[in-house]
Structure 1
Amino acid sequence: MLIRLLSAALAAGFLAAVLVTGLELALTSPLIIAAERYETQATPGSAAAVAPMPDRLPIVLAHAGHDHDSKAAPEWQPGAGLPRMLFTGLATLVGGIGYALLLGAVMLATGREPSPERGLAFAVAGFLAVALAPALGLPPELPGSEAAPLVARQVWWLMTAAATAMGIYLIAIRRVPITILGGLVLIVAPHLAGAPEVAATPSELPAGLAAQFAARSLAIAFVFWAVIGLAFGRAWQTFGPKTAAGARG
């Protein structure tokens, strides 16, 4: 069972990483590069600084990207060009395998036999919990965007993702009136509490560029989760024990 789970997760994570890395390079990386130009122009003496690294996993890590603290010591970043592309692909691969493992474990823990259809359904739930719900309060950010302190954003993101995932479980799996009510409360609670806020300050970054990045990141995140769900379900069936009819054939 464990070997089958790992094999399916590796296959699904690899397929999702290949597809999503290509989408990131084509759709979001140009926006990140453009935003870095604005950030460099707005920061005196920053021309020699190392360009910030783009968020590797769309949406999932978008809220943990840039700390926007000019006093902080510069962190290591991969070089522009091929090193950045390879690092982005590697990070996406690791994330894809991790999420595929989590998706498969949740399906098995809830007594659901993985299949492409069921994998897609659970993947949509994962997208809602990990990507869409947190993005309602903390949309994906480009370099140069004003943001609340990093720790506060990470705490709110984790709280929102966990509460939304539990809420979906209570609504979709338990399916009794009291759990449905509890699930709705859990889903709404983080947004009633409110995401960390930052004082509005003038920014050189065009609002349209930031909105375009957020929309594309959410779209890529949906593709990421959908491919993981479909591929995991298919791989689970492929790596499963052969039926007697299949063995005779």
Structure 2
Amino acid sequence: MFFRRIMFSAVMVGMLTGILLSAIQVIGVTPILLDAEVYEVAGESVQIMPNMSGAESHHRDEAWGPEDGVERVGYTVLANVLAAIGFACMLLVAMSQFESRGLVKLTKLQGILWGLAGYFIFFVVPGVGLPPEVPGSSADLLEHRQAWWLLAVCGAAISLVTFVFAPVKFKLFGLLSLALPFVVGAPHFDGPLFSNPDANVVMALTELHQQFIVATTVSNFIFWIALGMSCAWMLKSSLHARL
């Protein structure tokens, strides 16, 4: 019964908040990405390769991506909803366990605080070491960045739980867990962020990169606040339904 209630709540909350995040991204984030992709495509190198007849042919390796417009928006919504359902599951389980032990109460304020906690753990701390990147940015290997992101998330989660709930003698451990990922160091590409030879393009991409960081910071803040409040409301509603 508990698992079914949590999954139903997570799906409902994830759908609502995932669509909300997608709407915010379409308005404030996607235009920045599209502008950056124009410079990325313009700066792609074209490889000249011989064909079977010995003549030269122009070839560009392109990874698959959804078409701009409805298809791209559809995949964005799907990805955001699925991610939101996963985050909602974790948040609902944690909130229900802490509430059952009398550590927190399911109020609107608590929902906001839980949302801020998720924002801090999953966006702020990892974003300090690995800021959001626009297309055309130079980056280290994906697996290195994923491993560091996971380390940062775990360190942030442990530190937050320690600071809020652990006795004073364990507070130092929370600080060390928060600092550990940055002591290890986030993996960065050894070179300039933008390798385009055109200085004007680099200047434009740098400005777009700064706008992208601000836009993603704001959109994720709204998303996590909405997610925390929605999870608290769903849990409170389900508890009242059982009474």
Provide the residue aligned with 2:183 in structure 1: 192
Q: Number of aligned pairs?
A: 218
1:190 and 1:127, CA in 2 relative to 1: closer, same or farther beyond 3 A?
A: same
Q: TM-score, normalised by structure 1?
A: 0.81
Give the residue type in structure 1 aligned to 2:158. M
Shift of 1:108: 2.4
Provide the residue aligned with 2:164 in structure 1: 172
Moved more, 206-215 or 194-203: 194-203
Provide the residue aligned with 2:233 in structure 1: 234
Moved more, 89-98 or 193-202: 193-202
User: Which of 97, 102, 125 lines up with 1:133 in the alignment?
Assistant: 125
Q: TM-score, normalised by structure 2?
A: 0.83
Provide the residue aligned with 1:12 in structure 2: 13
Gaps of 5+ in 2: 48-59
Provide the residue aligned with 2:42 in structure 1: 41
Q: Mark the structure with the bigger radius of gyration.
A: 2
Shift of 1:73: 6.6
1:97-129 Cα shifts (integer Å, max 9, x gaps): 110110011122333454432222122111111
> Residues of 2 paired with 1:141 and 1:162: CA distance?
22
> Residues of 2 paired with 1:73 and 1:105: CA distance?
44
Provide the residue aligned with 1:209 in structure 2: 208
1:9 and 1:115, CA in 2 relative to 1: closer, same or farther beyond 3 A?
A: farther
1:45 and 1:169, CA in 2 relative to 1: closer, same or farther beyond 3 A?
A: same
Shift of 1:158: 0.6
Contact 2:96 2:235 in 1 (8 A): no
Shift of 1:36: 0.5
| RMSD after superposition | 2.0
Shift of 1:131: 0.2
Contact 1:104 1:114 in 2 (8 A): no
Give the residue type in structure 1 aligned to 2:86. G
- Please give the residue correspondences for 1:49-60 in structure 2 after superposition, counting only pairs within 5 Å: none
- Please give the residue correspondences for 1:79-98 in structure 2 after superposition, counting only pairs within 5 Å: 79-98=67-86
Matched, 1:105 2:105: no
Give the residue type in structure 2 aligned to 1:213. F
> Residues of 2 paired with 1:156 and 1:225: CA distance?
22
Provide the residue aligned with 1:66 in structure 2: none
Provide the residue aligned with 2:154 in structure 1: 162
SS state at 2:45 partner = coil
Contact 2:14 2:85 in 1 (8 A): yes
> Residues of 2 paired with 1:167 and 1:173: CA distance?
10
Provide the residue aligned with 1:225 in structure 2: 224
The percentage of counterpart residues that share the same residue type is 26
User: Which of 118, 123, 131 lines up with 2:115 in the alignment?
Assistant: 123
Matched, 1:76 2:68: no
Shift of 1:141: 0.4
Give the residue type in structure 1 aligned to 2:69. G
